[in-house]
Structure 1
Amino acid sequence: MAQSGPGHAAGRHWNLYIPKLVTSLREGYRWDDFRHDAIAGLTVAIVALPLAMALAIASGTTPERGLYTAIVAGFLISALGGSRFQIGGPTGAFVVVVFTVIERHGYDGLVLATLMAGAMLLLFGLFRLGTYIKYVPQPVVTGFTAGIAVIIFSSQVKDLLGLRIDQLPADFLHQWQTYLSHLGSANPAAIGMAAGTLGIILALRRWRPKLPAFLIGVLVGTLVVVALGLPVETIGSRFGEIPATLPSPTLPEISLERVRLLLPDAFTIALLAGIESLLSAMVADGMTGRRHRSNCELVAQGVANLGSALFGGIPATGAIARTATNVRAGARTPVAGMLHAVFLLAFMLLLAPLMEYVPLACLAAVLVVVAWNMSEAHRFRHLLRAPRGDRAVLLLTFGLTVLVDLTVAIQLGIVLAALLFMVRMADAVEIRSDLAEPEQDEETLPADDNAREELPASVEVFQIRGPLFFGATARLTDVLDRIGVVPAVFILRLRHVPMIDSSGVEALSIFLERCRRQGTIVILSGLQRQPAKILSRMGVTGERSGIVLAEDYPAALSRARALIDS
């Protein structure tokens, strides 16, 4: 008989924190697995090399600090994390907050803020808050991500045009005032190098997507500048020599006053790291069919940020694009991510003297592509067709991120989303003025198991009750995982869903896409007026969607039988 009690529960609890590396090794690790992991790790390292330096420069620090982060944090995130395929390192999400912290408190202040954020992430994971961080509404996530993308692009205009500006303001509006007043100092050679690098990257992404476009673009630009002796600013001319070794671990000055001053920035770093790492892990799950351990991932992110800060790096989190590259390159276990960090260390040891010749205009072109990818313009446009309240949250978060402050944007975005949710819940309550008995609920399944046994073969039925909003979407993504055999027809009963918001639409779209890939026909039965209107407006349902709509459950069951018979 299975044991139960506090000890058994504690054992299950600590299973949540077993790294996927341990799980992978227990399953058996063969030479063929190592070969695939090594190829994937090398591929990702080639992609990460120019990105790590470019993101560090955009963050207001030196390029080697980006490499330190990718090496130290990247290794720890893969070794200790809850995802098989997660690749960690510096990302665009941190550029704004890191730049601001360095400007206000210096690099030493950033180290302390990163240490505090690492401790917060550890606590988030140990208190099992990974389940709740993913509930941040989609308009808030998209709004601040698009806002960060705009700020990253804005910060690169100086190097794109080769402008002679001694001190670039951090504020968005003041940046553009400075650019306009210094247009006369534009460098044609820098403009040409930036345009050429951007053209190479875009051309390779379109016609040779398997090649490392970032590295090739930067390499060609560097060779042209060196061969022709073009007068453009390089890493060496601005930052000097790049160290060829990792620094010794050091602690910053710690005082109660500094901790108090840096607490809001540390919380922002921790929240961003938590959200982006879990989003990245979910992307990897969607690509591979695996499932990550969210709280284990948060603990790994905490340890990785502590390590990055001690070794002279900057904040780190899961990098969605590099994680997707890792999956596509054939990675099988977290060893691929660990090898990616080892390869980066080898590159730094061997190529540090050559990195000094890289033109800043070429790295600026790399960050323009990063900013465009971060903006998720298609998702932003999609959310502009969402309900009015979601549009307001999206635009408010975006505007505050660009014009005010990232922390304020996230806080007000979440508060406004919560207020809208309360209003929607109040509107969803039905008040009846008559005393008549309610009609028989035709959408209620009998309680006994015989009802499910009477379903046609290869037909599955699930029912959702209550509003499908940002706080309930995680349950929908688990539905298919709970079903053992892939059904031919899936009936999703929605008569008791009075309201759906854009996050609910996103979760439903992911669910429908998984069904489509598995060859499962989906029937939505009993759609109410508001969900039907929103799903139609946002393009989820319609003639070309392949989704079957039924007025009620009997009609859906009849349609399912017809589909099975045909």
Structure 2
Amino acid sequence: MNRTLARVRGLLPAAADYALLRRSWRGDLLAGVTVGIVALPLALGFGISSGAGAEAGIVTAIVAGVVAAVFGGSNVQVSGPTGAMVVVLAPIVASHGVGAVALVSILAGVIVLVAGAARLGRAVSFIPWPVIEGFTLGIAVIIFLQQVPSLTGPAPHGGSSTNVVIAAVASLLAADPGYLLWALGAVAVVAACMILLPKLHRAIPGSLVGIVLVTVLAALVPNPLAEIGALPRSLPAPTFPAFDPGTLGELALPALTVAALAAIESLLSARVAASLADTGPYDPDRELVGQGLASVAAGLFGGMPATGAIARTAVNVRSGARTRLAAVVHAAVLLLVVLVAAQPVGLIPLAALAGVLMVTAVRMVHLATVRSIVRSTRADALAFVITAIVTISVDLIVAVVIGMLVAGVFAIRSLSRATGVAREPLPGEAVAGDERIAIIRLDGPLFFAAADRVFDTVTALDGVSVVILRMSQLELVDATGAHVLSEIVRRLEARGVTVLIKGVREGHVVLFRTVGVLGALRHHKHLFAELPAALAHARSHIERERAASAD
């Protein structure tokens, strides 16, 4: 009971979360304001790209940002709408409408919350690095292509296709050339600001300056560019979205996909944040609980699912954040924008936000990382490429599963090659009859992938009367490997070959006894701890065999 209470308390906010606040509050305030400024265009842009709208994006950044900061497992994590979530939400909006987003957010939040309570936070460590980088590349490509329709004008484009490649190509074919030129000009201004201004000073928010500049120019010069439109001047009241059992069933699988993505991305972001600065350890289980609650809260306010945002979290840490106050301040800055600046924000051209997201997508891809993976091993390179391609063409979660399968197959293949099975020469001076004795050394892992090779090699022995199986170097042994060993003993004994086993590790004894390896031996004294004793016993068998043949 006490242990259960301790585990529950470990998943809840505590005073220790703010232990550094007395010394770091100034840095936290400055970091929170900085991240709030960076997050504004991203929240608006991701909301629009997902199909849920700019309002959903900024509501999510505010509500989820506060809840995840207070209840999450990282001291510096910044949460809100992200590009990866946009990739998953866009087809849900296309299939079920905007109204489904809030319900999916709540369902996914509950799933993530349960996963955290069940202590599944460490599961993300099982995803190989090439797979993570592969779907990061795929997400970056999708985010970039999702902006193309915002640049091509109001002409019909993309149809009902949820594939971003098809939608981007279709929108380009149907583009209004005049509108496209204006939109590309806006993108160029924003991109130039984002790339050049931080070089003058790191504290300059290039994306915000670029958006303000484009918005002012658009107000002064007549142009055809579409704008964000009216935004609410306050947060909406929390309400539970309407649904029926049929809708709930249809959204169950999408919600599971969203939950998986939210958990993966949030844990990866928290892990990255912990490596950027000494901000204290992060608790992966509590992080899932916090992100689950954040998505539930965002859904109740009409928002979208939230995750930890790697880019915003990195900005937070590099700006001096050390406690959760910074993420709370970031949400407060965004709330202030809604309360006092909703009208001017609504005048921002969509093409300007597209420019922000395009530059963000390009920055997600690190060429040095791509080169290192491609040049590492063929297996890792293949897992990376396949994951990226499937992410772009099919689905992110499917891509992760396929990438893990590919990586797993190659890992198993490599591991199976490490299984050694070889005949060794007998130690010491040769004795008459030694040619009838075979010492077989087994080393490395013995599991299902290598079992058949070991079986074929050992049972192919010919012209011997005694086989000594040396097992002291065997490492991992699974049930299949143990079963194959028992079959080897039975097959050889059935041919009249005496099998002696030397050096069974203590950790393998129970498995070998349960599966029948030890029981398959002709006599219980055929199990040895040392090779000299096993060899002496083998030679005694040969002596008896020679004596019997002489008679």
Separation of aligned partners in 1, 2:256 and 2:110: 10
Give the match for residue 48 of structure 1. Answer: 39
Which of 75, 80, 89 is the aligned partner of 1:89? 80
Give the match for residue 166 of structure 2. Answer: 174
* Pairwise CA RMSD: 2.4
Are 1:267 and 2:256 counterparts? yes
Separation of aligned partners in 2, 1:221 and 1:353: 16
- How many pairs are equivalent? 430
Pair 398,436 (structure 1): closer, same or farther in 2 beyond 3 Å = farther
Offset, 1:222: 0.6
Separation of aligned partners in 2, 1:28 and 1:370: 32
Offset, 1:380: 2.3
Are 1:361 and 2:354 counterparts? no
Give the match for residue 15 of structure 2. Answer: 22
Separation of aligned partners in 2, 1:436 and 1:340: 73
Give the match for residue 546 of structure 2. Answer: none
Separation of aligned partners in 2, 1:40 and 1:180: 40
Offset, 1:376: 3.3
Are 1:202 and 2:166 counterparts? no
Pair 23,435 (structure 1): closer, same or farther in 2 beyond 3 Å = farther
| Secondary structure at the counterpart of residue 281 of structure 2 | coil
Give the match for residue 284 of structure 1. Answer: 273
Whether the 8 Å contact between 2:77 and 2:313 is mirrored in structure 1 is yes
Separation of aligned partners in 1, 2:113 and 2:401: 22
CA deviation map 1:228-247 (0-9, x unaligned)? 233311112xxxx1111111
Separation of aligned partners in 1, 2:176 and 2:45: 26
Separation of aligned partners in 2, 1:199 and 1:391: 33
Whether the 8 Å contact between 2:61 and 2:81 is mirrored in structure 1 is yes
Give the match for residue 530 of structure 1. Answer: none
- AA partner of residue 373 (structure 2): L
Which of 128, 142, 159 is the aligned partner of 1:151? 142
- AA partner of residue 39 (structure 2): A
More displaced 10-residue stretch of structure 1: 81-90 or 264-273 = 264-273
Pair 497,319 (structure 1): closer, same or farther in 2 beyond 3 Å = farther
| Secondary structure at the counterpart of residue 235 of structure 1 | coil
Are 1:349 and 2:339 counterparts? yes
Pair 369,177 (structure 1): closer, same or farther in 2 beyond 3 Å = closer
User: What are the residue-to-residue correspondences of 1:29-108 with 2, within 5 Å?
Assistant: 29-30=21-22, 32-108=23-99
- AA partner of residue 360 (structure 1): L
- AA partner of residue 248 (structure 1): A
TM superposition score normalised by structure 2: 0.74
Give the match for residue 193 of structure 1. Answer: 186
Give the match for residue 247 of structure 1. Answer: 236
Offset, 1:426: 1.0
Pair 264,171 (structure 1): closer, same or farther in 2 beyond 3 Å = same
Whether the 8 Å contact between 1:142 and 1:376 is mirrored in structure 2 is no
Give the match for residue 295 of structure 1. Answer: 285
User: What are the residue-to-residue correspondences of 1:149-548 with 2, within 5 Å?
Assistant: 149-162=140-153, 164-165=155-156, 169-187=161-179, 188-236=181-229, 241-289=230-278, 290-434=280-424
Separation of aligned partners in 2, 1:178 and 1:497: 56
Whether the 8 Å contact between 1:158 and 1:165 is mirrored in structure 2 is no
CA deviation map 1:446-465 (0-9, x unaligned)? xxxxxxxxxxxxxxxxxxxx
CA deviation map 1:307-341 (0-9, x unaligned)? 01110111111111111111111112101111111
- AA partner of residue 58 (structure 2): L
Separation of aligned partners in 2, 1:245 and 1:134: 40
Give the match for residue 125 of structure 1. Answer: 116
Offset, 1:93: 0.7
- AA partner of residue 171 (structure 1): N
Are 1:10 and 2:10 counterparts? no
Are 1:112 and 2:106 counterparts? no
Whether the 8 Å contact between 2:146 and 2:168 is mirrored in structure 1 is no
Separation of aligned partners in 1, 2:390 and 2:74: 33
Separation of aligned partners in 2, 1:155 and 1:331: 32
Whether the 8 Å contact between 1:117 and 1:266 is mirrored in structure 2 is yes
Return the index of the structure with the highest Cα Rg: 2
Pair 362,113 (structure 1): closer, same or farther in 2 beyond 3 Å = same
Separation of aligned partners in 1, 2:87 and 2:220: 35
Whether the 8 Å contact between 1:163 and 1:186 is mirrored in structure 2 is no
- AA partner of residue 329 (structure 2): L
Separation of aligned partners in 1, 2:172 and 2:370: 28
Offset, 1:370: 1.3
Offset, 1:400: 1.2
List alignment gaps of at least 5 residues for structure 2.
428-443, 446-473, 477-551
Offset, 1:435: 5.6
